[in-house]
Amino acid sequence: MSEVYYNYVDGDWVESETGDTFEVVNPADTTDVIGGFQRSSSDDATAAVEAAADAADEWADVPGTERGSILTEAARHMADRTDELTETLTREEGKTLTEAGAEVQRAVDIFEYYGQKAVDFGGEVKQPGSRDANLYTVEEPMGVAGLVTPWNYPVAIPAWKSAPALATGNTVVLKPANGAPNVFRKVVECLDEAGIPDGVVNYLTGPGSDVGGTIVDHDDVDVVSFTGSRSVGEMIHEQAGANQKRVQTEMGSKNTTVVMPSADLEEAAEIVGAGAFGVTGQACTGTERVAVHQDVHDEFLEELIAYADGLEIGPGLEDPDMGPHFDRDHLEGTLEYVERGRDADGTLAYGGEALEGGEYDDGHFVEPTIFTDVDSDAAIMQEEIFGPFVGVMSATDFEEAVELVNDVEFGLSTSIVTRDHAEANRFRDAVDFGIVKINEKTTGLQYYVPFGGMNASSSETFREQGDAAIDFYTITKTVYENYGRR
């Protein structure tokens, strides 16, 4: 019998009113049951929102220094439990220990960063238009923040949504993805140990339609932040916007790296390979397309195949180069795209097979996959696959390469590998993507600068992370004070 874990509502660990649970398993070994989690209902979500609303005014009145101290203390508890959090993340999501450890450290850094930001949080003083007067702004929290987060970064994304919300005086209701809820549940334990007041943080698991839908729709929720699929994100944006809530959605993408003749091709293959096959390709910033100048296409392809062939694939707890797919559906989805690539007359240059036998039998393992000779408008080059899958295209010149980058509906992260600085600057200006990288993989982000996409990747309302997150969770009052008038 696996252990059963509870929701955290109004300062207590509580069972769902449904009495039902669901199991979470290790994607590398589905016989390894992580535990049972609450199959919460709309009523459970309503109780969590009401608890957050009841605590909102008091938490907003807590001085920023005190709020910051709690976040910093929570970060210390997280750091003390780094090994535990890392193993938990690997077991439930599938990342390698190295990848999971980096994500846990990022979550620690985020809480520390916003712990300091809470101290600096305030407004601006401006010159008044008359004597004996003051003119200034104050920043106030929005109120209750409803946060809906995905499975692929199950501690970093909840951290970068909840920490700035808390730092600025908002209360939080957070629904993690059902497939990987345990690692952030342990972060909530750290917040509880750090002294977060009752009702300020609320965490509950369950169906998105019941729990997530109630959070988005509830009148007491003032601001909604979502990361996940495009279809759900667009629905949430429409729902929340219709109710006059402030909303932020980050959805999928189809990201291209450009390789120019001046590039070191072995280095370029490492950049593309890490962006395409790192975290098993399960990142919205992952590289799924490559536009290579025709003069170096064949040599680059050889280098990329050699990179893929050198990857060790296995259970994340063994810390290989690449772990399993998150679940059976995602594995089958990748394999289906392999067949669609063949149907589109593409050339399967490497991989494309599920791995079986021995330690692979109870997990969701697949080879890294490389296609070439595929048109940009083919399904495998337009639809987000979310797996270790990349298509390599040939470009006659720089201008065509940029056209290929922009030849998708999305616009989250793109990069170019070149030694030509002017070429890099032209690329930066010409692409319609929220994140532009020069001689770097499309994945991997700093937590203190804005993050967000363009076009179908994002609602394009507010950015996440850095000071941009402070802006999202606050509203400005402008104060005119005339103290000379009697």
Helix axes 97-120 and 156-167, enclosed angle (nearest 10): 10
pLDDT, position 486: 60
- 121 band by pLDDT with thresholds 50, 70 and 90: confident
The pLDDT tens digits for 239-248 are: 888 888 999 9
As assigned by CATH, the class of the 255-438 domain is: alpha beta
> Hey, which residues does 477 pair with through a beta bridge?
138
Looking at the predicted structure, is the pLDDT value of residue 1 above 70?
no
Domain regions of the chain by residue span: 7-251+458-479, 255-438
Interatomic CA distance for residues 221 and 140, integer angstroms: 16
Computed over every residue of the chain, the mean pLDDT equals 96
SS (H, E, C) the chain: CCCECCEEECCEEECCCCCCEEEEEECCEEEEEEEEEECCCHHHHHHHHHHHHHHHHHHHHCCHHHHHHHHHHHHHHHHHCHHHHHHHHHHHHCCCHHHHHHHHHHHHHHHHHHHHHHHHCCCCEECCCCCCEEEEEEEEECCEEEEECCCCCCCHHHHHHHHHHHHCCCEEEEECCCCCCHHHHHHHHHHHHCCCCCCCEEECCCCHHHHHHHHHHCCCCCEEEEECCHHHHHHHHHHHHHCCCEEEEECCCCEEEEECCCCCHHHHHHHHHHHHHHHHHCCCCCEEEEEEECCCHHHHHHHHHHHHHCCCECCHHHCCCECCCCCHHHHHHHHHHHHHHHHCCCEEEECCCECCCHHHCCCCCECCEEEECCCCCCHHHHCCCCCCEEEEEEECCHHHHHHHHHCCCCCCEEEEECCCHHHHHHHHHHCCCCEEEECCCCCCCCCCCCECCCHHHECCCCCECHHHHHHHCEEEEEEEEECCCC
Interatomic CA distance for residues 480 and 203, integer angstroms: 40
Looking at the predicted structure, is the pLDDT value of residue 237 above 80?
yes
Of the residues 75, 78, 156, 284, which is catalytic?
A: 284
Q: Averaging pLDDT over each range in 208-212, 227-231, 392-396, which range is the top one?
A: 392-396
Looking at the predicted structure, is the pLDDT value of residue 122 above 70?
yes
| Neighbour count for residue 432 (Cβ, 10 Å) | 15
301-328 average pLDDT score: 98
15-42 average pLDDT score: 97
Sign of torsion over alpha carbons 375, 451, 246, 48: positive
Q: Which position has the token pair 């009841």?
A: 54
Structure tokens at 138: 């104050």
Interatomic CA distance for residues 384 and 391, integer angstroms: 12
- Residue 343 burial (10 A CB sphere; 0-12, 13-18, 19+): exposed
349-353 average pLDDT score: 97
264-284 average pLDDT score: 98
At the topology level, CATH places domain 7-251+458-479 in: Aldehyde Dehydrogenase; Chain A, domain 1 (3.40.605)
pLDDT, position 43: 98
Q: Name which of 386, 367, 385 is nearest 322 in CA terms.
A: 367
Interatomic CA distance for residues 475 and 472, integer angstroms: 8
Looking at the predicted structure, is the pLDDT value of residue 484 above 90?
no
User: Active-site residue 190, yes or no?
Assistant: no
pLDDT, position 312: 98
- pTM summary value: 0.96
The pLDDT tens digits for 69-116 are: 999 999 999 999 999 999 999 999 999 999 999 999 999 999 999 999
291-315 average pLDDT score: 98
Residue pair 44/18 in contact by the 8 Å Cβ criterion? yes
- 446 band by pLDDT with thresholds 50, 70 and 90: very high
Looking at the predicted structure, is the pLDDT value of residue 55 above 70?
yes
153-174 average pLDDT score: 98
Interatomic CA distance for residues 471 and 459, integer angstroms: 16
